[in-house]
Amino acid sequence: MRLKFLLPAIYILFLLLPIYWLLNMSFKTTNEILGAFTLWPRNFTFDNYRKIFTDPTWYWGYINSLIYVLMNTVLSVLVALPAAYAFSRYRFLGDKHLFFWLLSNRMAPPAVFALPFLQLYSAVGLFDTHIAVALAHTLFNVPLAVWILEGFMSGVPKELDETAYVDGYSFWGFFLKIFIPTIAAGVGVACFFCFMFSWVELLLAKTLTSVEAKPIAATMTRTASTSGYELGLLAAAGVLTIVPGAFVIYFVRNYIAKGFALGRV
Amino acid sequence: MAKILVDNVRHSYFAEPKGEEDWALKKITLECEDGGAYALLGPSGCGKTTLLNLISGLLRPTEGRIYFDGKDATEASPEQRNIAQVFQFPVIYDTMTIYDNLAFPLRNRRLGEAEVDQRVREIARMLELDTILKRRASGLTADGKQKISLGRGLVRTDVNVIMFDEPLTVIDPHLKWQLRSKLKELHHRIRRTMIYVTHDQTEALTFADQVVVMKDGEIVQIGTPIELFERPRHTFVGHFIGSPGMNLLPCEIKSATAYVAGKAVKTLKSRRESGDHLELGVRPEFVSFAEEGIPVDVTKVADAGRFRIVETRYNGNAIKLLVAEGRDIPSGKAHVSFDPEHTQIYQNGWMIE
Amino acid sequence: MNKTFNHKGWLFVLPVVVLVAFNAIIPLMTVVNFSVQESFGDNVFFWSGMQWFEQVLHSDRFHAALLRQLLFTAIVLAIEVPLGLAIALAMPRRGPWVSVCLVLMALPLLIPWNVVGAMWNIFALPDLGLLGRLINGIGFHYNYTRQPLGAWFTVVLMDVWHWTSLVALLCYAGLVAIPDAYYQAAKIDGARPWAVFRYIQLPKLKHVLTIAILLRFMDSFMIYTEVVVLTGGGPGNATTFLSIDLVKMALGQFDLGPAAAMSIVYFLIILFLSWLFYTLMMQKEET
């Protein structure tokens, strides 16, 4: 094992420790969690997971979240690609200010915006739909995607574009067959981060939904109110929340780890 | 300065190559003389860049050895082989000035500043960069950046060979010939071995003393530009080099004479063999209208400036010929004859000697 | 890069602008609306001008929270950015371990923030949690529920645990996007690893690092859920950062005025600092 891999190895160990603890908690009852210090559950129980898999409010929560998060990721990245290209290759009136304005949408604490958002989406008749949350999340995901993609696009020399045109590619042929594979790492990372930020966002998701599209967020905060703090249940829910995201990053891992050779044969 | 020998090299990018298609280079043996200018010419995918990277040490060959001046260099790194390489896209250190870019390889080899300065200025003058040495390298145009890439290779006195991987790809067309002439001039001045990879025959033919034509991972022919033009040893060379490429007509051999669809044609040597997949090859430059010969129908005339490309048809085959401007071109039916000195027979693509 | 002047650019960015503006402008207007009005309930509003803003800006409580926030953000950035970059540089580029690394590193990012707070809440407890037990076991007297320093330590550790992977993943993708030709040229030029880092990797990572730093700056400045669930802002108000203070203030008020005003001040601070940083980082581009 090369020495330099020691750092990521230690770091990952550090990351896994609390996750193991989370796993640990998920198999315990709340009483045991708060009552004793045990490295492995004394009274091992599947109850928490059973509750989640059998109670419709719980598992629909996951499904609803998945739906709007996937909608949002696809929408954000698709819309961001041409915009990032424009920011990277063209100069136009107000481009620098527009670019910064985009990011400024991530600079406000969401708490105070919950009510105005509710009013807005109710007014357009989108309250309690998946599309509402998917759209609302574009507020912070689209700027992120644009910024990330622009950063990667700027690393590709403009000469690549010109060479492709000389070779006879149309703009879209070049964009889809040459350019996007070249920035594959950026696309992979943008997709993953959009998924992630939308997936963990609780406030807007909760505010804009009630029954039809209720996300896992709402159900999870419920555990903090009814019968005190159901820690075991919360832990199990937390463990299960990791799973879809792990799939996503596994899915895009080849894009993230892909380099490019700069040039043809 | 070194003589380079590529000895029976085969290369595959796959860990476990199965079929022939898995091998990027099928079997290459190549010898480059010290100080020569070589071009590796071929279409995309023929393996020329692979071969280049094998010679420079950026890749290790799956099989075979590579020798620099008789010494086995197969395991040596690019640094140890003392090579320089200019890539397809300009590779420069953006944060440094032009001066620092050129000085970088020398400083890494711990040369004294005075010597560094002298070498850098000398090369800068050669490349016409000496007036802007203090400028940031990132601000230059593509051809300027390629000059810096080239310069970084030239500053080192110990360079054995300079490799070029399609370096003119991103240069503006009207600057291409300028850079090309500069390269040729540089080669005359400093007499270092240069290996130039390209898919553009004009670049290859004007730059190189010896052109190595490659196809599908194999060397098809090595020769001077004239040899390749006049004596293409493979139909691929015939049609890849020259604009338009060589005419190829299916033929048969009966009693030592070649027949194209029944018409006897005189060729370079009298033929004894017969067989399948025989083709007759003759370049349009060596075809002319005549009183008698092969009867053709004139179908198209294209103007190419100083001459015209005339397309004719004979028995379903196309025969192209070049006619100088000012000369008449018969219309409808005519006869063409081939210069026997430049008419060859090919079997399965390879010229029959 | 030499960009071409092309107003076609507006066509490309139009979808983005429409989406974001729809979500941004109307809610923003509502908040601004609230911030300059005063209400005594029953949806009756009176214009109050800059009253709330003055109140916020002059309050000691706000200053204290701001200071705590600045300190927290500074510490967290100082740890996460170099650490994330170092990890990205050290991660394998090829082979089976790449997938393992990427997936495992992504896990902390995927946990909802309230769960993060809750798990660290237990994890760091001196009697019931693994971390708490470990630290006390080594000999330190550690109890984050009682000690301001302990609370700060835990909050910072939690944030580093939670977010360093973001920096690392971004930097890793950025590193991987550097074309091989640059490394090859550096090899040929005889450059040492430090020179490769300084002259090739770091410059090429500029965009990605800027994004990473700006993201972490903004998100850490707005941090709320994890800290609230972990420490509740305590002990006392040792870990009451700006967001927490904002919500504390908004709860139990009939008026959205002061909260709205504070949000706007908050937003302007982040905007100003981000813009400052962005301009500094991007300055070198325009030579």
Q: Is the pLDDT of residue B8 over 80?
A: yes
| Contact (Cβ atoms closer than 8 angstroms) between residue B90 and residue B149 | yes
Interchain pair A265, B45: CB under 8 A: yes
Of A163, A262, A265, the CB nearest to B44: A265
ipTM: 0.85
Chain B residue numbers with beta carbons less than 8 Å from the beta carbon of C195 are 108
Q: Amino acid identity, residue C274? A: S
Q: Residue B196: CB partners within 8 Å, gap ≥ 6? A: B37, B38, B39, B40, B163, B164, B167, B183, B203, B204, B207, B208
Estimate the share of chain B in helix, then strand, then coil, as percent rounded to the nearest 5: 30, 35, 35
Of B85, B108, B153, the CB nearest to C190: B108
Interchain pair A11, C246: CB under 8 A: no
The two three-digit tokens of residue C141, written as one number: 């007297």
pLDDT digits (tens, 9 = 90+) for B37-77: 999 998 888 888 888 888 888 888 888 888 888 888 888 88
| Start-end of H helices in A47-113 | 47-54, 56-89, 95-104
Predicted local distance difference test score (pLDDT) of residue A265: 27
Chain B residue numbers with beta carbons less than 8 Å from the beta carbon of C190 are 79, 105, 108-109
The two three-digit tokens of residue C56, written as one number: 């916020």
**pLDDT beneath 50, residues of chain C:** 286-287
The two three-digit tokens of residue A232, written as one number: 């075991």
Residue-averaged pLDDT of chain B: 84
C217: nearest Cα among C262, C174, C276 = C276
The two three-digit tokens of residue C96, written as one number: 């089976």
Determine the average pLDDT of the residues in B264-275.
67
User: What φ, ψ does residue B260 adopt, rounded to 5°?
Assistant: -110, 110
Question: How far apart (Å, rounded) are the C-alpha atoms in residues B170 and B196?
Answer: 15
Predicted local distance difference test score (pLDDT) of residue A76: 94
Predicted local distance difference test score (pLDDT) of residue C40: 60
Q: Which fold has domain A63-256?
A: MetI-like fold (1.10.3720)
Question: How far apart (Å, rounded) are the C-alpha atoms in residues C9 and A92?
Answer: 6
Predicted local distance difference test score (pLDDT) of residue C68: 92
pLDDT digits (tens, 9 = 90+) for B131-140: 888 888 888 8
In a domain, C52, yes or no: no
pLDDT digits (tens, 9 = 90+) for A53-82: 888 777 788 888 889 999 999 999 999 999
Question: What three-state secondary structure class fits A43?
Answer: coil
Burial class (CB in 10 A: 0-12, 13-18, 19+), C10: middle
Burial class (CB in 10 A: 0-12, 13-18, 19+), C276: exposed
Predicted local distance difference test score (pLDDT) of residue A70: 92
Question: How far apart (Å, rounded) are the C-alpha atoms in residues B230 and A172?
Answer: 43
Estimate the share of chain A in helix, then strand, then coil, as percent rounded to the nearest 5: 75, 0, 25
Question: Which residue bears the tokens 């009136």?
Answer: A93
Question: How far apart (Å, rounded) are the C-alpha atoms in residues B309 and A166?
Answer: 25
Predicted local distance difference test score (pLDDT) of residue C1: 60
Q: Which of C2, C183, C187, C188 to mutate to test the interface with B (most CBs of B within 10 A)?
A: C188
Of C182, C199, C287, the CB nearest to B96: C199
Task: Return the exposure string of C186-200: e unless at least 16 CB atoms fall within 10 Å of the residue's CB, then b.
Answer: bbbbbbeeebbeebb
Predicted local distance difference test score (pLDDT) of residue C92: 85
Q: How many other CB atoms are found less than 10 A from the CB of residue A97?
A: 9
| Contact (Cβ atoms closer than 8 angstroms) between residue B202 and residue B170 | no
State the chains in contact with A (3 or more Cβ–Cβ pairs under 8 Å): B, C
Q: Residue A264's pLDDT band (boundaries 50, 70, 90)?
A: very low
- Long-range pairs, B182-190, Cβ under 8 A, ≥24: B182/B127, B183/B150, B183/B207, B184/B37, B186/B126, B186/B150, B186/B154, B187/B37, B189/B126, B190/B154
| Contact (Cβ atoms closer than 8 angstroms) between residue A25 and residue C122 | yes
| Contact (Cβ atoms closer than 8 angstroms) between residue C218 and residue B124 | no
Question: How far apart (Å, rounded) are the C-alpha atoms in residues B167 and B181?
Answer: 13
Interchain pair B89, A264: CB under 8 A: no
Bridge partners of B295, per DSSP, are B335
Q: Residue A258: CB partners within 8 Å, gap ≥ 6? A: A184, A185, A188, C176
Chain A residue numbers with beta carbons less than 8 Å from the beta carbon of B88 are 262-264
In a domain, C168, yes or no: yes
Give the number of domains in chain C.
1
Chain C residue numbers with beta carbons less than 8 Å from the beta carbon of B139 are 287
Interchain pair C110, A242: CB under 8 A: yes
Question: How far apart (Å, rounded) are the C-alpha atoms in residues C196 and B7?
Answer: 33
Interchain pair A186, C177: CB under 8 A: yes
> Residue C78 maps to which CATH number?
1.10.3720.10
**Peptide bond between residue C235 and the one before it cis (omega within 30 degrees of 0):** yes
B268: nearest Cα among B349, B348, B350, B351 = B351
Question: How far apart (Å, rounded) are the C-alpha atoms in residues B238 and B245?
Answer: 6
User: What φ, ψ does residue B165 adopt, rounded to 5°?
Assistant: -105, 90
Task: For B113-169, give the DSSP string.
Answer: HHHHHHHHHHHHHHTT-GGGTTSBGGGS-HHHHHHHHHHHHHS-TT--EEEEESTTT
User: What φ, ψ does residue A228 adopt, rounded to 5°?
Assistant: 70, -150
In a domain, C90, yes or no: yes
CA distances from B173 to B92, B147, B167, B177, B179 (A): 21, 16, 13, 8, 10
**Chain A: residues touching B (Cβ < 8 Å):** 157, 159-160, 162-163, 262-265
Q: Residue A263: CB partners within 8 Å, gap ≥ 6? A: B87, B88, B89, B165, B166, B169, C181
Question: How far apart (Å, rounded) are the C-alpha atoms in residues B48 and B40?
Answer: 6
Residue B21: which H helix or E strand, with range?
none
Question: How far apart (Å, rounded) are the C-alpha atoms in residues B225 and B206?
Answer: 8
Determine the average pLDDT of the residues in B183-198.
86
Residues in chain C: 287
Task: For B40-68, give the DSSP string.
Answer: EE--TTSSHHHHHHHHHTSS--SEEEEEE
In a domain, C266, yes or no: yes
Task: Return the exposure string of A120-153: e unless at least 16 CB atoms fall within 10 Å of the residue's CB, then b.
Answer: bbeeeebbebbbbbbbbbbbbbbbbbbbbbbbbb
In a domain, C33, yes or no: no
Q: How many other CB atoms are found less than 10 A from the CB of residue B16?
A: 6
pLDDT digits (tens, 9 = 90+) for A221-245: 665 544 456 788 888 888 888 888 8
Q: Residue A260's pLDDT band (boundaries 50, 70, 90)?
A: very low
Q: Cα torsion at A20, A23, A28, A29 (round to 10°)?
A: 120
Residue A257: which H helix or E strand, with range?
none
Q: Which of A24, A34, A92 to mutate to test the interface with C (most CBs of C within 10 A)?
A: A92
Q: Residue A194's pLDDT band (boundaries 50, 70, 90)?
A: very high
The two three-digit tokens of residue C130, written as one number: 């693994």
Give the count of alpha carbons within 13 A of C23, CB side only: 26
Cα B127–Cα B133–Cα B134 angle in degrees, nearest 5:
165
Domains annotated on chain B, with CATH: 4-237 (3.40.50.300), 246-351 (2.40.50.140)
Question: Which residue bears the tokens 């990890």?
Answer: C87
Chain B residue numbers with beta carbons less than 8 Å from the beta carbon of A162 are 170
Q: Amino acid identity, residue B59? A: L
In a domain, C64, yes or no: yes
Q: Amino acid identity, residue C46? A: F
Task: For B168-197, give the DSSP string.
Answer: TTTS-HHHHHHHHHHHHHHHHHH--EEEEE
Nearest Cα residue in chain A from C131: A18
Bridge partners of B309, per DSSP, are B302, B322
Q: Is the pLDDT of residue A261 over 60?
A: no
The two three-digit tokens of residue A151, written as one number: 């950063």
pLDDT digits (tens, 9 = 90+) for C109-163: 988 888 898 889 888 888 888 888 888 888 888 888 888 898 999 999 999 999 9
In a domain, C193, yes or no: yes
Of A109-113, A144-148, B226-230, B281-285, least confident by mean pLDDT is A109-113
Structural domain of residue C189, as residue ranges? 60-283
Q: Is the pLDDT of residue B257 over 80?
A: no
| Contact (Cβ atoms closer than 8 angstroms) between residue A199 and residue C110 | yes
Q: Is the pLDDT of residue B231 over 90?
A: no
pTM to 2 decimal places: 0.82
> Given strand B278-282, what is the order of strands in its sheet?
B247-250, B278-282, B343-347, B350-351
| DSSP code for B352 | P
Burial class (CB in 10 A: 0-12, 13-18, 19+), C139: exposed
Chain C, 168 to 207: residues with Cβ < 8 Å from chain B are 179, 181-182, 184-185, 187-192, 195, 199-200, 203
